[in-house]
């Protein structure tokens, strides 16, 4: 094991104020199970899970609530014991309506009976380990929520030789991953060992930003005698340094091609939280039903790092952290750059909820539809090498063909362009709309092509 500086510096990026000081030194606090939990079934990328419970059913902690509805889908489990009060469409943390299971907790927090001893995973074949990850409902906990078992089973011809563990946590305000690296570094190591066995990767990189010396020290201690080629890579503090493609470039200088995936360059990136969830699923047969959430901002009573059950409402999280201070201007699920503003706090947190941010009106950036002034700052900031100013203008003009030609689908929606824009244009919203329209047009073209083929 060695520790070294970032090998390469990816393009673009910005340096926002990080505001991590209010929670970075606070140990994680476990939150009591609330009276009601609201567990969304679409808290991962891919197809929403299919419910296997109904109103009136009695469930225990760890019992499946929903099964995967396709290859890119995931199991969803009960975060506590209680009674199913409803299975219906509700507002979710994504800001959209989706299927949600409401559980009325019974206060006993009983779990499934343990039917097997902790796994001696070192003696198990890789495929069986992946099945255990799938059964545990493990998904990417860094934000995207991609089902982990899919990433661990690359298609034929794709070989993963480089494993990258993401501890950058570049999003302002958030310190959940930082606390994991300090408090659970040994568990991260075990997760890396499991991933290493599954993938048979030849190289392992653990990437941490250089503003986290305590986390780097904890990881150095945990991995000091790791058997294999492993390096702790100290990357520059820059947003969005923790984005998947940027991290791959920082560690390997390999660029994921436009429209491609990390596996196209032989890499796989997993968040530090995902690594610990894999340990729970494989070693303890414990599904993913809780996670650490940073509750912070200048409008929260007591900022905290909280270990909370999935489905815990934002209202209950806020109450556990001292309630609302003043009149908040915005409540965001996640961080200020890529998080989703909430219209209600009566929605449940997900497996991907890394933070809950309450900001006063003074802290909110106001956007407008002022004309682009052609300064080029968005182009310099874009980590994907795009032209956000031209993309935005074409999307406003509903010229989606040109937006597609300008590679709008490569946008990672990091918000760096909007942060730098002196005209305060809503660039991220434009990109999201443009991507949705381009994908819609592609589906329509494919449908027409399929109809022509059938007709012939």
Residues spanned by the domain of 433:
377-455
What does the pLDDT average to over 105-132? Answer: 86
pTM for this model (two decimals)? 0.94
- Asked whether residue 360 is assigned to any structural domain, the reply reads no
The Cα 336–Cα 356 span in angstroms is 10
Q: How far is CA 385 from the centre of its chain?
A: 23
Enumerate residues 6+ apart whose C-beta is below 8 A from 95: 340, 341, 342, 343
Q: Is 156 exposed, middle or buried (0-12, 13-18, 19+ CB in 10 A)?
A: exposed
Among 109-113, 154-158, 180-184, 243-247, name the most confident range: 180-184
Please indicate, yes or no, if residue 163 is contained in any of the structural domains: no
Calculate mean pLDDT across residues 18-23. Answer: 96
Q: Binning pLDDT at 50, 70 and 90, where does residue 101 land?
A: very high
Whether residue 303 lies inside any domain: the answer is: no
Residue 389 lies in a domain: yes
Is the per-residue pLDDT at 157 higher than 70?
Answer: yes
The pLDDT value recorded for residue 4 is 73
Strands (E), 41-178: 50-51, 58-59, 64-67, 76-77, 82-91, 97-105, 162-167
At 41, the pLDDT band (50, 70, 90 cuts) reads: very high
**Tokens for 204?**
């392992």
Residue 380: per-residue pLDDT? 97
Rounded to whole angstroms, the Cα distance separating 448 from 358 reads: 46
d(CA 360, CA 304): 17
Flag whether 240 is in a domain: no
Query: pLDDT tier at 188 (50, 70, 90 boundaries)?
Result: very high
Range with top average pLDDT, 116-120, 255-259, 300-304, 369-373: 300-304
Write out pLDDT tens, residues 264-322.
999 999 999 999 999 999 999 999 999 999 999 999 999 999 999 999 999 999 999 99
Task: Please tell me the predicted confidence (pLDDT) of residue 116.
Answer: 62
Please report how the helices 272-283 and 126-135 are oriented relative to each other, as an axis angle in degrees rounded to 10.
Answer: 100
Record the tokens describing residue 279, joined without a space.
Answer: 């340990």
The mean per-residue pLDDT over the stretch 348-377 comes to 91
Task: Give the count of domains, the chain.
Answer: 1
Classify strands 203-209 and 82-91 as parallel, antiparallel or unpaired.
unpaired
Task: Give the position of tokens 């290493």.
Answer: 196
Task: Let me know if residue 450 belongs to a domain.
Answer: yes
| Residue-averaged pLDDT of the chain | 94
Give the residue carrying structure tokens 């002034």.
Answer: 373
Residue-wise pLDDT for 212-225, tens only, equals: 999 999 999 999 99
Name the range with the highest mean pLDDT among 252-256, 309-313, 322-326: 309-313
Predicted pLDDT at 449: 83
- The three-state secondary structure class of 355 is strand
Residue 401 lies in a domain: yes
The pLDDT score that the predictor gives to residue 117 is 62
The percentage of the chain sitting over the pLDDT mark of 90, rounded to a whole number, equals: 86
Asked if residue 381 is part of any domain, the answer here is yes
Q: How many other β-carbons are positioned within 10 Å of the β-carbon of residue 250?
A: 25
């Amino acid at each position: 094991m060695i520790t070294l500086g970032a090998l390469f510096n990816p393009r673009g990026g910005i340096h926002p104020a990080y505001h991590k000081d209010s929670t970075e030194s606070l140990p994680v606090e476990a939150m009591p199970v609330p009276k009601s939990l609201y567990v969304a079934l679409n808290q991962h990328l891919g197809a929403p899970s299919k419910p296997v419970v109904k109103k009136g059913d009695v469930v225990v902690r760890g019992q499946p609530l929903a099964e995967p509805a396709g290859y890119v889908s995931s199991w969803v489990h009960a975060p506590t014991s209680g009674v199913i009060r409803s299975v219906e469409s509700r507002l979710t943390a994504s800001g959209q309506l989706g299927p949600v299971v409401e559980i009325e907790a019974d206060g006993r927090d009983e779990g499934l009976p343990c039917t097997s001893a902790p796994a001696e995973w070192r003696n198990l074949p890789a495929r069986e380990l992946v099945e255990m990850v799938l059964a545990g409902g493990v998904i990417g906990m860094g934000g995207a929520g991609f089902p982990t078992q899919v990433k661990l089973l690359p298609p034929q011809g794709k070989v993963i030789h480089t494993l990258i563990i993401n501890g950058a946590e570049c999003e302002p305000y958030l310190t959940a991953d930082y606390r994991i690296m300090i408090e659970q570094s040994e568990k991260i190591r075990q997760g890396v060992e499991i991933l290493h066995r599954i993938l048979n990767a030849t190289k392992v990189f653990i990437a941490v930003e250089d503003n986290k010396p305590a986390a780097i020290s904890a990881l150095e201690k945990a991995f000091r005698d790791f058997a294999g080629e492993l390096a702790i890579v100290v990357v520059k503090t820059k947003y969005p340094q923790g984005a998947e493609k940027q991290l791959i470039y920082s560690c390997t200088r390999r660029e994921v091609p436009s429209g491609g995936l990390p596996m196209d360059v032989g890499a796989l990136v997993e968040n530090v939280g995902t690594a610990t969830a894999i340990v729970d699923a494989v070693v303890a047969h414990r599904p993913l039903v809780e996670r650490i959430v940073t509750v912070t901002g200048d409008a929260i009573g007591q900022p905290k790092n909280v270990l909370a059950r999935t489905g815990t409402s934002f209202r209950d999280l806020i109450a556990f952290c001292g309630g609302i201070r003043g009149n908040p201007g915005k409540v965001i699920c996640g961080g200020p750059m890529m998080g989703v503003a909430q219209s209600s706090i009566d929605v449940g947190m997900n497996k991907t909820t890394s933070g809950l941010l309450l900001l006063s009106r003074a802290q909110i950036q106001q956007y407008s539809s002022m004309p682009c002034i052609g300064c080029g700052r968005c182009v310099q900031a874009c980590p994907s090498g795009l032209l956000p100013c031209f993309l935005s203008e074409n999307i406003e003009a509903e010229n989606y063909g040109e937006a597609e030609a300008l590679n709008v689908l490569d946008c990672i929606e990091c918000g760096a362009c909007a942060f730098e824009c002196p005209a305060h244009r809503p660039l991220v919203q434009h990109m999201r709309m443009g991507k949705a329209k381009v994908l819609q047009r592609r589906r329509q073209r494919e449908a027409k092509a399929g109809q022509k083929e059938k007709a012939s």
